[in-house]
Amino acid sequence: MSKTVHKIGFVGLGVMGEPICRNLAAKCGKPVLAYDTRSEPLVRLKPSGVEAQPSVEAIAKRADVIFLSLPGGEEVRAVCGVLLATARRGQTVVDLSTCPVEVARDLAQRFALAGMDFADAPVARTRQAAADGTLSITVGASYQVFEQIRPLLAHMASEITHCGDVGSGQIVKLMNNMVLMQTVVALAEALAIAGRAGMDRKLLLEGLSKGSADSFAVRNHGMKSMLPRRFATDAFSTRYALKDLSYALALAQSVGVEASGAKHAQALYTRSAEAGNAEVYYPAVVNLLDPPK
């Protein structure tokens, strides 16, 4: 039986959280209550009908479904600790963040003991996709919980995939990011090799986009960022890339997989961060292998 949702809570209004919350408030037809440690996004969201709250506790006391969009596992654990302390039976917590798989599974057990449901639903694609409501969301939850939250997720995403029980959404997201980050490294290497061989880098990427090496990374990271050397500060940073790679490698280690390609990517992104790119869009790793003239 589906639960009645009267009010929706949203905690975390960063690069992705703010546009996601804006879409949710505009489309869901229900009151949306939001909290962030910064006041600026709450001010920007007020015209969209989002009601600012003074604390996580205030949201926990009023909302039936609570979405989280936070930097990582440490922040998710901290916020969920507050939610568990003020728990009301029947509430549902949906984590849109990218977290370690074991964090999602542990929290699901703790919420279940409190009579609450939990789903991991990490989002993929860009900030523009968040603004457009065309994210891809991979969900780990029971089928019943998935069906309950799917109509709300549809206000944020054009692709919603039920991946299995809690933790499965994070597994798919971490593997997605691991593959993507390795692909960006491969593109950086290709640009360096082709450029030094006298090839026009733009023509290289156009050629790749028409062959079997074509990918989202070629057409977006490569053409829109790496080629013009534009690395925004309000996009997925090198620091966040390293966080997600660390989660993926921890998962690999826990199941006995070497993941040497991911380790190579991690080493390059670490060097990129140390070179001053920690807070800029992570495809800036190209500057290590193919320095701009």
Q: What is the DSSP string of 86-108?
A: T--TT-EEEE-S---HHHHHHHH
Q: Tell me what pLDDT residue 100 has.
A: 97
Q: Answer positive or negative: Cα dihedral of 215, 216, 221, 223.
A: positive
Report pLDDT digits (tens) over 135-174: 999 999 999 999 999 999 999 999 999 999 999 999 999 9
Q: Tell me what pLDDT residue 2 has.
A: 62
Q: Tell me what pLDDT residue 1 has.
A: 39
pLDDT for 238 beyond 60: yes
Q: Tell me what pLDDT residue 126 has.
A: 87
Is 20 in the same domain as 143? yes
Last residue of a domain, one of 116, 146, 166: 166
Whether 1 maps to a domain, the answer reads no
Is 152 in the same domain as 223? no
Q: Answer positive or negative: Cα dihedral of 196, 201, 205, 210.
A: negative
Last residue of a domain, one of 133, 166, 199: 166
As a whole number of angstroms, the distance between CA 76 and CA 177 comes to 19
Q: Tell me what pLDDT residue 24 has.
A: 97
Is 45 in the same domain as 147? yes
Report pLDDT digits (tens) over 71-102: 999 999 999 999 999 988 999 999 999 999 99
Is 24 in the same domain as 135? yes
User: Binning pLDDT at 50, 70 and 90, where does residue 3 land?
Assistant: confident
Output 126 or 210, whichever has higher pLDDT: 210
CB 102 within 8 A of CB 75: no
Is 32 in the same domain as 90? yes
245 in helix, strand or coil? helix
Cα separation values, 256 from 89, 105, 133, Å: 38, 19, 37
Q: How many domains does the chain have?
A: 2
> Which residue, 30, 113, 15, 109, is CA-closest to 69?
15
Is 112 in the same domain as 80? yes
Is 106 in the same domain as 220? no
Whether 3 maps to a domain, the answer reads no
Is 258 in the same domain as 209? yes
Is 13 in the same domain as 149? yes
Q: What range does the domain containing 262 cover?
A: 171-289
Say which CATH number the domain at 80 has. 3.40.50.720
Cα separation values, 253 from 83, 166, 247, Å: 31, 20, 10
Is 182 in the same domain as 157? no
CB 45 within 8 A of CB 21: yes
CB neighbours of 212 closer than 8 A, spacing ≥ 6?
Answer: none
pLDDT for 125 beyond 50: yes
Q: Tell me what pLDDT residue 263 has.
A: 98
Report pLDDT digits (tens) over 8-61: 999 999 999 999 999 999 999 999 999 999 999 999 999 999 999 999 999 999
pLDDT for 234 beyond 90: no
Say which CATH number the domain at 191 has. 1.10.1040.10
CB 245 within 8 A of CB 177: yes
Last residue of a domain, one of 166, 198, 221: 166
Is 129 in the same domain as 182? no
pTM across the whole model: 0.94
Report pLDDT digits (tens) over 185-210: 999 999 999 999 999 999 999 999 99
Report pLDDT digits (tens) over 99-120: 999 999 999 999 999 999 999 9
Whether 183 maps to a domain, the answer reads yes
Tokens 């053409």 — which residue? 223
Q: What mean pLDDT value characterizes the chain?
A: 96
CA 79 to chain centroid, in Å, comes to: 17
Is 138 in the same domain as 46? yes
